[in-house]
């Protein structure tokens, strides 16, 4: 753990991330365009920079600058200021979720100044940021990742070196696809439940309770491939069982929706595609009727 740390962007997630670095041995420099979060960090003992350039110069070539701003344009603007004042060797960790191609372009641009860029988007929202339990998904060269690893470990309990530059962002995009498609499925299930006279608040309690037990959608994410399962694969029988239960329950949901006049396009798509999604051909039978471990 050598060199100071800089943190740019003290918003809803950036501020609690930066708080985890307040006792960093070589000092924490912070910057934000809003004065309110800066005042808090002054009281906590951090050094406040008057600009991104001043922060980059203060951190120097032995340190790390974390960037958590809103979008690609803001990331590019911040990096341009950093490169105007940075020393060779500096590592810039981009925590913002940007377009998958952006990190490689920024890394190429930064390399001309001897600055190393890693993309390190986070998953876990404000709760994980406050508790220091984020998942941090890193793409970048081995030496740049190693230089920033201790900083990242202060902010997350699952820090993944996903691969070369851009790999962390690609992983975050895939993770968030699941997140927001699930939100859409929630709305569909709520519409069906509401039409059926079900208390939506109680349904929410049930979903959170059982997902905490089973792991929710992540319960089936243990394979290292999406290829069709071979009959001798240990997962074949498990997923065949999951498929049988899923198609039965999805069929019940679609049938109930038809009777109540509720549109459930995600349920219909899932019923038609569950077998393929699980890596099974369409004719795999399963006669059991008890839930598989790890499924709802």
Active site residues: 172
Q: Give the C-alpha separation, 211 to 295, whole Å.
A: 9
Q: Give the C-alpha separation, 8 to 84, whole Å.
A: 15
- Helix 102-111 and helix 167-195, axial crossing angle in degrees, nearest 10: 160
The continuous run of DSSP H or E covering 3 comes out as: none
Sign of the four-CA dihedral 161, 164, 167, 168? positive
Q: Give the C-alpha separation, 77 to 165, whole Å.
A: 19
Hunting for tokens 């979008």 — which residue is that?
71
- Written as six digits, the tokens of 174 are 């895939």
- Helix 167-195 and helix 265-277, axial crossing angle in degrees, nearest 10: 130
Q: Give the C-alpha separation, 13 to 129, whole Å.
A: 6
- Helix 72-83 and helix 102-111, axial crossing angle in degrees, nearest 10: 10
Q: Give the C-alpha separation, 15 to 166, whole Å.
A: 24
Would you tell me how many other CB atoms lie within 10 Å of the CB of residue 293?
8
Exposure string of 49-81, with b = 16+ CB inside 10 Å and e = fewer, is beebbbbbbbbbeebbbbbbbeebebbeebbeb
Q: Give the C-alpha separation, 91 to 145, whole Å.
A: 9
Q: Any idea what DSSP says for residue 2?
A: -
């Amino acid at each position: 753990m050598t060199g100071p740390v800089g943190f740019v962007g003290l918003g809803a997630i950036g501020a609690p991330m930066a708080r985890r670095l307040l006792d960093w041995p070589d000092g924490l420099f912070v910057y934000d365009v809003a004065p309110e979060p800066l005042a808090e960090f002054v009281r906590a003992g951090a050094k406040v920079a008057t600009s991104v350039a001043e922060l980059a110069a203060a951190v120097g070539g032995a340190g790390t600058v974390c960037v958590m701003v809103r979008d690609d344009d803001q990331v590019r603007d911040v990096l341009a200021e950093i490169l105007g004042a940075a020393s060779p060797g500096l590592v810039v960790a981009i925590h913002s979720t940007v377009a998958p191609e952006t990190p490689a372009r920024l890394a190429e641009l930064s390399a001309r100044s001897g600055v190393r860029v890693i993309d390190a988007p986070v998953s876990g929202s404000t709760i994980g940021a406050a508790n220091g339990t984020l998942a941090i998904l890193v793409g970048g060269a081995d030496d740049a990742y190693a230089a920033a690893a201790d900083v990242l470990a202060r902010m997350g309990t699952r820090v993944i070196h996903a691969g070369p530059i851009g790999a962390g962002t690609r992983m975050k995009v895939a993770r968030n696809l699941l997140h927001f498609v699930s939100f859409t499925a929630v709305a569909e299930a709520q519409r069906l439940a509401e039409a059926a006279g079900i208390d939506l608040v109680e349904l929410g309690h049930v979903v959170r309770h059982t997902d905490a037990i089973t792991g929710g959608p992540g319960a089936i994410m243990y394979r290292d491939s999406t290829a069709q399962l071979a009959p001798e694969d240990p997962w074949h029988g498990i997923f065949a069982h999951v498929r049988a239960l899923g198609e039965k329950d999805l069929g019940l949901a679609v049938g109930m929706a038809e009777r109540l006049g509720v549109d459930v396009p995600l349920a219909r798509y899932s019923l038609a595609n569950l077998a393929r999604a699980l890596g099974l051909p369409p004719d795999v039978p399963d006669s059991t009727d008890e839930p598989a471990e790890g499924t709802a």
